[in-house]
Amino acid sequence: MGAAAGSVGTVALNTATYADMVFRARPASSVTSTVAAKLADKAGIDLPGEGEDTGETAQNRQSGLGALFGIVTGVGVGIAYGLVRPALGYDVSKTRAGAALGLAAMAGAASLRRRSG
């Protein structure tokens, strides 16, 4: 159930992000691809691959990896919530649980950014 909730939350966030890009005509953020590139570099992973062009190919892979990190963060937080929620008891209001879940997702994303910096 937690994975499903995390997936729904991730889809909602992506929808809001892309709608904002359409309505405000703003470009995509480069933060996720930059973080992905730095984390891959720290892990010793060569994103462009052997003998490939390091320009557009690397940027495309970094962008894809950044999007995957976002999905993994959203679903991971949902799974964690699904595991922790029964232990908290159902005395905690949905509003407080939702706020805590949102904070956990932001903390997960911030943690990835800190590790990449």
**pLDDT for 80 beyond 80:** yes
Over range 20-45, report the average pLDDT.
84
- In the block, tokens 């970094």 appear at 62
Encoded tokens for 78: 């949902």
Our count of domains for the chain comes to 1
Encoded tokens for 15: 């929808």
pTM summary value: 0.71
**pLDDT for 104 beyond 70:** yes
> Quick one: pLDDT band at residue 116, thresholds 50, 70, 90?
low
**pLDDT for 50 beyond 60:** no
Q: Which domain holds residue 48?
A: 2-116
**pLDDT for 22 beyond 90:** yes
Annotate 55-106 with three-state secondary structure: CHHHHHHHHHHHHHHHHHHHHHHHHHHHHHHHHHCCCCCHHHHHHHHHHHHH
Q: Quote the pLDDT of residue 32.
A: 79
Amino acid at 16: A
Alpha-carbon distance of 32 to 60, in angstroms, equals 12
Tell me which DSSP letter residue 115 carries: H
